[in-house]
């Protein structure tokens, strides 16, 4: 009996170690709309893939062992296939466990991640190569979650893509559209980009500020 408890205990410790390391998710793996906070996702998602099957654009995958993130949990890669933001949110409606919020009222309320201008040195608009506005044009949210704000530095006028977190759903259309070799704007998990918002996703009736920040 003692050895039985001992063996069970050792297996439990190994399992706990595995659970701890395997909980980490790579930053490019974006959760489907309505996902509970990442810290709670491994408790809520049973890895059944019903969201994957519900997606009409086939953008979702389940993480395979040895490759990405928590084995069996759903994600999409914005650069390859961004979320098309279906109005009826079929992926979240299909979730049997509530790992995705089945009651998410509108897709605009989703916070899959948040777009971040990660490389000003390559952004065509910032370096002044063109007046590129592909990210802003691709943004499906209205009022646009990305605006091009005029800046002046060293006497040079340029336009910087500014993401308004109150509107950005993290769909990844901007990252997908960005014409630079490596996307200059990327969707990051909220927990990584805006830790202050990670614990309380925006989608429960938070009032969005209607005035975007103005240029200095």
Applying CB under 8 A, which residues contact other proteins? 3-5, 7-9, 11-12, 15-16, 18-20, 22-23, 36, 39-40, 42-50, 52-53, 61-62, 64-67, 70-72, 94-99, 102
Cis omega (within 30 of 0) for bond into 161: no
H-helix or E-strand containing 136?
helix 134-138
Q: Quick one: CA dihedral 67, 70, 72, 74, positive or negative?
A: negative
The total number of residues written for the chain in this structure: 216
Query: What's the min distance (Å) between Cβ of 13 and other proteins?
Result: 8
| Distance of alpha carbon 113 from alpha carbon 133, whole angstroms | 21
Cα angle for residues 81, 23, 186 (degrees, 5° grid) = 30
Smallest distance from the beta carbon of 106 to other proteins, in angstroms? 19
Task: Indicate the residue among 12 and 128 with the shorter CB distance to other proteins.
Answer: 12
CB of 66 to other proteins, least distance (A): 3
Across-strand partners of 187? 115
State the minimum distance, in angstroms, from the CB of residue 175 to other proteins. Answer: 23
Q: Which is nearer to other proteins, 53 or 131 (CB)?
A: 53
Closer Cβ to other proteins, 17 or 215, answer by number: 17
Closer CB to other proteins, residue 45 or residue 135? 45
For other proteins, the closer CB: 71 or 192: 71
At its nearest, how many Å lie between other proteins and the CB of residue 90? 12
Nearest CA to 91 out of 198, 209, 171, 19 is that of 171
């Amino acid at each position: 009996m003692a050895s039985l408890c001992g063996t069970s205990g050792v297996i439990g410790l190994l399992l706990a170690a595995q659970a701890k390391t395997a909980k980490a998710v790579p930053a490019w793996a974006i959760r489907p709309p309505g996902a509970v906070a990442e810290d709670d996702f491994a408790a809520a998602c049973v890895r059944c893939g019903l969201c994957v099957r519900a997606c009409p654009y086939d953008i979702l995958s389940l993480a395979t062992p040895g490759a990405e993130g928590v084995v069996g949990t759903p994600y999409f890669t914005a650069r390859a296939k961004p979320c098309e933001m279906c109005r009826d949110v079929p992926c979240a409606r299909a979730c049997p466990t509530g790992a995705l919020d089945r009651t998410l009222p509108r897709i605009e309320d989703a916070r899959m991640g948040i777009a971040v201008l990660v490389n000003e040195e390559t952004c065509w608009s910032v370096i002044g190569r063109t007046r590129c506005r592909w990210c802003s044009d691709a943004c499906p949210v209205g009022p646009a979650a990305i605006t091009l704000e005029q800046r002046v530095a060293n006497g040079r006028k340029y336009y910087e893509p500014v993401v308004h977190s109150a509107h950005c759903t993290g769909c990844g259309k901007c990252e997908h559209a960005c014409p630079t070799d490596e996307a200059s704007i990327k969707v990051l998990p909220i927990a990584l980009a805006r830790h202050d918002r990670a614990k309380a996703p925006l989608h429960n009736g938070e009032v969005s500020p209607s005035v975007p920040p103005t240029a200095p």
